[in-house]
Amino acid sequence: MLEKRLRGKKIDIYYGKAGLEALTLIPETDMVLNAIVGIAGLMPTIMSLNNGKAVALANKETLVAAGKIVMDLAKSKNLPIIPVDSEHSAIFQCLQGNRTQDVDNIWLTASGGPFRGLAYEEMKNKTPEEALRHPNWKMGRKISIDSATMMNKGLEIIEARMLFDLGPEKIKVLIHPQSIVHSMVEYSDGSVIAQLGYPDMRIPIQYALTYPVRMAAIYKKLDLVKTGKLEFSEADKEAFPCIRLAYEALREGGTMPAVLNGANEKAVELFLAGKIGFTDIPETIEKVMDKHDLIREPVIEDIVEADFWARCEEGRISEELA
C-alpha cells in the first residue's frame, strides 16, 4: 500500500527480511539501531554484525534467545553492542571506568506495572485493557503486557547476564514505582552508582547513538526537588512468577531462554485476543518449559526451532484451557 502511494517519488521502500538485510548493508552507516519487537529482531542483529555494523540494541529478545551466540559473534567481529533498554543503558553507564570483577550486584529497577501490590489471586480476572495501562511509560501492547506480568523484567535479567557477563546471583530486581532511578551497580567497597532521569526513552537512545559523547538534550531534565520521594521495595516473585521462570530459564541455559521467550510471545498474543486469562500467561509458560527437551550448546538453527516449538506448544496448552 505504501509502495503504491509513493510510486513515482524518489523514495526507496524496504520491507520484509530482504528489506531488513538491505538496511544493514548501507555503506554510509556504521551502526544499526534495532528496535524490532520480539524474536523477529534476532536475525537483523546477526545480519548487522556480519555486515560490520555496531548495534544499538533495544530488542531484548535477541540476547534472551541467543545471547551467547550473538555476543560471541560481536566479539569475533570486534563490534560493540550498546544497550538501549533504559535499565541496561543505566547499568552500562554505571560500569564506565570500573572493573566488572569489583561488582557485587546490579539492581534492575521496575515500576511494578499496573498491578503493583496485588496478590496473584487478585490478578486472575484482569483484562487486557487494565494490563495495558502502564503507570509511567508509553509503550507498545506487547511490552506493556510484559510489564504487567513482570516478564519484561525477567527478560531483562537474562539480557543483563549476556551483556555484562555476571552470574544470575548478582542480578537482582527492585520495585521503584517512580521510574526515576533506571538501575544501579553495587560495588565491593559498598559504593552504589545509579543512573537517574525522567522516564523518557530518548535519553538511552541518544546515549547509544552518540556514545562515548554526551550531546546536549532538548528534552526535560531531572529536577530532584520536584521529584520528591523515591521508593524501593523487593520484587514479589509469588505474585509475579514470570521473574522466577526467567531465573530458571537462565540457570538451565541452552535453548531454555528461547523457549521462555517464544512461549511468552504466544501467550501475550492469546491474552490480548481474549483467549486466555492474565494468570494463564505464567502458568502455561511454565508447562511449556517443563515439556522442553533442552539443547545445552545450541547453534542458531536450534534457537529458531526451539522458538517455533515453544509457540506451537503454548498454543496447544492454551487451547486446552478454553
Entry pTM: 0.94
Output the 3-class SS for the chain. CHHHHCCCCCCCCCCHHHHHHHHHCCCCCCEEEECCCHHHHHHHHHHHHHCCCEEEECCCHHHHHHHHHHHHHHHHHCCCEEECCHHHHHHHHHHCCCCHHHEEEEEEEECCHHHCCCCHHHHCCCCHHHHCCCCCCCCCHHHHHHHHHCHHHHHHHHHHHHHHCCCHHHEEEEECCCCCEEEEEEECCCCEEEEECCCCCHHHHHHHHHCCCCCCCCCCCCCHHHHCCCCCEECCCCCCCHHHHHHHHHHHCCCHHHHHHHHHHHHHHHHHCCCCCCCHHHHHHHHHHHHCCCCCCCCHHHHHHHHHHHHHHHHHHHHHHC
The residues near 69 (Cβ < 8 Å, ≥ 6 apart) are 46, 298, 299, 300, 303
Q: What is the pLDDT of residue 235?
A: 96
Q: What is the pLDDT of residue 219?
A: 84
Per-residue model confidence as pLDDT tens digits over 74-113: 999 999 999 999 999 999 999 999 999 999 999 999 999 9
Mean pLDDT of 34-59: 95
- Domain 1-84, what architecture? 3-Layer(aba) Sandwich (3.40)
More confident residue, 5 or 111: 111
18-22, 105-109, 170-174, 201-205: segment of lowest average pLDDT: 18-22
302 close to 65: Cβ distance less than 8 angstroms: no
pLDDT for 280 beyond 80: yes
pLDDT for 138 beyond 80: no
Mean pLDDT of 249-264: 98
- List the 103-110 sheet strands across, edge first: 192-196, 181-187, 103-110, 171-175, 233-234
- Say if residue 212 is preceded by a cis peptide, omega within 30 of 0: yes
74 close to 50: Cβ distance less than 8 angstroms: no
Looking at the chain, the domain(s) classified CATH 1.10.1740.10 span 253-322
pLDDT for 304 beyond 90: yes
Q: What is the pLDDT of residue 33?
A: 96
Q: Does domain 253-322 match CATH 1.10.1740.10?
A: yes
Q: What is the mean pLDDT of the chain?
A: 95
Distance CA 170, CA 150 (A): 19
Distance between alpha carbon 213 and the CA centroid of its chain, in Å? Answer: 25
Q: 291-306: buried (b, 16+ CB within 10 Å) or exposed (e) per residue?
A: ebeebeebeeebbbeb
pLDDT for 177 beyond 90: yes
Handedness of CA 263, 314, 259, 39 (dihedral sign): negative
Confidence of residue 135 (pLDDT cuts 50, 70, 90): confident
Phi, psi torsion values for 104, nearest 5 degrees: -85, -45
Mean pLDDT of 258-268: 98
Per-residue model confidence as pLDDT tens digits over 54-68: 999 999 999 999 999
Confidence of residue 8 (pLDDT cuts 50, 70, 90): confident
Looking at the chain, the domain(s) classified CATH 3.40.50.720 span 1-84
Mean pLDDT of 281-298: 98
Mean pLDDT of 163-180: 97
Residue owning grid cell 554526551:
214
Which run of H or of E encompasses 316? Answer: helix 300-321
**Cell (9 digits) for 154:** 525477567
